[in-house]
Amino acid sequence: MRFGILGPLDVRTDDGTPVDPGGPRPRALLTLLLLDAGRPVSTQRLTDGLYGAEPPAGAANALQSQISRLRRRLAPHAEIEVTATGYRVAVTPDTVDAHQFEIWSAAGRAALAAGDHRAAAARLREALALWRGPALPDLPDAEAEAARLEELRLAAVQDRIEADLALGGGTELVPELRALLAGRPLGERLYGQLMRALHAAGRPAEALSVYEEARRTLADRLGADPSPELSALHLELLRGAAPERPRLPVQLTRFVGREPELARITAGLAASRLLTLTGPGGAGKTRLAIEAAQQHPGACIVELAPLTDGAAIPYAVLAALGVREGLRSPAADTTDRLLAALEEREPLLVLDNCEHLVEEAARLTALLLAACPGVRVLATSRESLGITGEVLVPVPPLPPEPAVRLFLDRARAVRPGFDGHARVADICAALDGLPLAIELAAARLRTLTPDELADRLHDRFRLLSRGDRSKAPRHRTLRAVVEWSWGLLDEEERELARRLTVFSGGATLAAVEAVCGLPYPEDVLASLVEKSFVEFVAGTEGRYRMLETIRAFAAESLSGPQDLADAHAGHFLRLAAEAEPHLRGGGQLPWLARLAAEQANLDAALRHLVRHDTGGALRLMGPLSWFWRLRGVHGERVATARELLAAAGDAPPPGLEEEYVLCAVNALSGAGDEPELIARVDAVLDAYRGPLRLPYILVLWAVAAGPRPATDAHALTLAGGSPWARALLDVGLGFRAQFAGRPRESEEYFARALAGYRATGDRWGLANCLDPLGLLAHARGESERALELLDEGLAHVRELAAPEETADLLRTRATVLLHRGDTATAVAHFEEALALARGAGLPDKVAAARRGLGDAARLSGNTAHARVHYEIALRECAANWFSVGETVRSLIGLGRTAAAEGHAEEAGDWFRQAAELAVEGPGDLELADAAEALASAAGSAERAAELLGAAAGLRGGRTEGDPDVARVEREARAKLSAEAYDQAFEQGRRRRSAAVSER
């Protein structure tokens, strides 16, 4: 069938028989469908088009009824299909006059650009002959679309006049141009064409008077002068010469970023005669090419985007070079003329947008380079030309910093004074750093706030649908850019692209093979990479990645997403299960790297399983829990874990007790306000009799819920015969002895655990033994030995990239250095620990680093800074069991700061608060810290000595090297005899915590 909407709706069969679509409502409905011929039209859009912004009740049913009636009237010649979101009329765009008009007028425009004026005039006349009246008269509410078509009609008329002028037209064009200007008195192109027509007709004085008419009209109506182009034409007519064709377009906006790419282009063109910029649509290849070409005199740009026939490329190059003479001769061999024109010249030809004519562009480029030694070519394309000697410069999305600069620059054009916003970086990241998308988004700040813009980016194609009207249609909107790339793919490539959307963060070849269900996908993947639709990232395992914008577009037409998501989740569940045992031994680094590379996919798989397969979700969360702990990302999964725990219920599924416990670990906030859940999980562990398959439960549950009152026998049962788990039990026993003030016993446990972890090669275990062993050595005054142990531990955790353990070891090392007097290095360590803890979302670790900075400032005499650090540390301490000790030490820091400032009463208040809280700590170490602090504020030397003795009793030994403790001891000894001091000290040691609680 053939359809006409450029005038009253006209429907005819292929033999010319008219078909009546019905009354006004069916005619409007069919017109709406034909505007997107062959593509789905949403139900909402159809309803809005038929009924306006306030549809009547029952509009959806009425629409279905109208569709049914229209389907019957069109049958059997055309079908209206139901889609997931609406309806589509199953016809090709070339059967609709409006689409045919756009195709033919674009072909005419391309021929005009190539200098083939005769072909341009013929094709444009054919396009204009399709119009039978005003556009879309059967769709009165479609003002915007009708206006767009009318603008295209006017542009086609002007292009046809341009071609006629080039073919020698003059007098016969004058009346038509006068009539057009009467309806559009501000059309500068029309004034210019009328001037040229009059000049060609031998009426130069009238041509010059037209310029004066244009100047007066523009001044009266707009208060503006004629454009530089019209003024230049006026000057050329005065001189009696034709205007010279500009070589490179002048840009209206600042060029932002791309310094590395510009440097590569400069170097590449110095070494090679053919350089191609490749990259996805919207990456800014054209703008970059123009910017680079500015440095080359004689450079000219050849626009290939409007061309639909590769045979027109030589014409386009000749036109860009300004070579016109002889092009009207049908016998002229265009390629020979082009070679002759370039034989003695040394231009840089910028062949822009080669991708849709890549074969023809490559053939002509190879011919020019072989025959014309002075020619160099800078091409832009979404795939390479594939010529030997071609140098490729990929044009990737912008990195974060220049992306933000571009956004701010373009935003200030529509919102003067805009000085940025906290979400600008997130907006740029969500848009993949694509310059076109960033510019379109920045333009929306004219009517949206940054928050509103960021919140709507999930519907990016609708949001970014208003672009520069002067650009080609395929560069005006984000959807049009991606559709252009999509149209260059074959169906096999499109199908794999759709399936690749199931991956988050990219995929390895093995994952694509396992999930996508397509045999031997590597060739199709290579093709998608070559066409800049998929990015390949080399590494230990190469990865294929899609920009999120391309991924969102391809996912729109994905069929069977549930089955594909199931396959994806199953693959990554198997990967996590395979990785789990390797995370607890010498081979953990490559497996940690592999899981880190797949983190986005693992998260996506977990989210899918939580909603569709509770058992599968538990089986995936179990092995991932230890990976999250090592990489410091476990806190990010609280919401997912709580959703899964709710789905699992109050008791673990049979056989998944360990996974259930780990789910509870991830669900706990650490605030101690979930006693029912803690009791429930304790009951599960108490009832568990076999050795643990996932022994790190012992660590994670203790950290999340606090030390558990389990018996050593039960702990041994849970550990089983695993050397890793046995070493872990020794670590737990070591901490228990340390908290109980038995340092020698504690050191024995840690040393035995260290030997066990050396046998397994587990870096996490080694570091978690070396840290307390370093502290114990420092407490004995062996600071050199302490630093050796801590340095080894740091080497292990840095290999693991484990932020929490790295922060702990840095803080311990900083404490040793601070006590040795190396304040500058200690401060650097505390600051690095602070950054790691903050990045991992660990408030208690943030507090500990802040408290360390407070100690450093106080011991350096800067009490004002010290007070700030201690106060921030107190605010960071969350209400969980493991923050008690840090809160005690921060209170003590504030007390010592007050004492240093001469406020003894305030200092005593802080120390007493610390002592009262220390009773709630997990062991005696906090009480020991409080006793040492109280000693500094004691009313007598005897009381100070007694409190220092109590601290030593609580710790199981004296504290060596701590300058605060050493100062109090010196002052007490100076006032007492050695015998009196020792007697008071020993009395305090025997009484321990009782001595601390006395006021």
CA dihedral 881, 883, 887, 888 (to 10 degrees): 60
What is the SS3 assignment for 57? coil
What is the SS3 assignment for 81? strand
SS (H, E, C) 431-495: CCCCHHHHHHHHHHHHCCCHHHHHHCHHHHHHHCCCCCCCCCHHHCCHHHHHHHHHHCCCHHHHH
What is the SS3 assignment for 556? coil
**Distance between CA 439 and CA 419 in Å, rounded?**
16
**Distance between CA 835 and CA 813 in Å, rounded?**
16
SS (H, E, C) 834-848: HHHHHHHCCHHHHHH
Max CA distance (Å), the chain: 125
- What are the helix (H) ranges across 801-883? 803-820, 823-840, 843-859, 863-876
Looking at the DSSP bridge assignments, the partners of residue 924 are none
CA dihedral 541, 544, 549, 550 (to 10 degrees): -170
Is there a contact between 291 and 258 (Cβ–Cβ < 8 Å)? Answer: yes
Helix (H) or strand (E) holding 4: strand 2-4
**CA angle, corner 591, sides to 585 and 597, nearest 5?**
155
Helix (H) or strand (E) holding 59: helix 59-74
Is there a contact between 275 and 391 (Cβ–Cβ < 8 Å)? Answer: yes
**Distance between CA 929 and CA 948 in Å, rounded?**
10
SS (H, E, C) 249-265: CCCCCCCCCCHHHHHHH
Predicted local confidence at residue 519, as pLDDT: 80
Length of the chain equals 999
Q: At what angle do helices 697-705 and 657-667 cross, to 10 degrees?
A: 30
Residues 6+ apart with CB under 8 A from 429: 400, 403
- What are the helix (H) ranges across 877-962? 884-900, 904-918, 925-936, 941-955
Mean pLDDT by 10 residues, the chain (999 residues): 88 86 86 85 83 77 83 84 83 87 86 78 89 87 84 90 80 86 87 86 81 87 82 74 58 84 91 93 90 86 85 84 49 71 86 91 93 93 91 92 92 88 91 89 89 88 71 70 84 91 92 89 90 84 88 85 92 95 91 92 94 95 90 74 91 91 81 72 80 82 62 70 87 85 91 94 93 93 94 94 92 95 95 91 89 95 94 79 81 94 92 87 82 90 93 87 92 93 92 61
Is there a contact between 690 and 722 (Cβ–Cβ < 8 Å)? Answer: no
Q: What DSSP designation does 927 have?
A: H
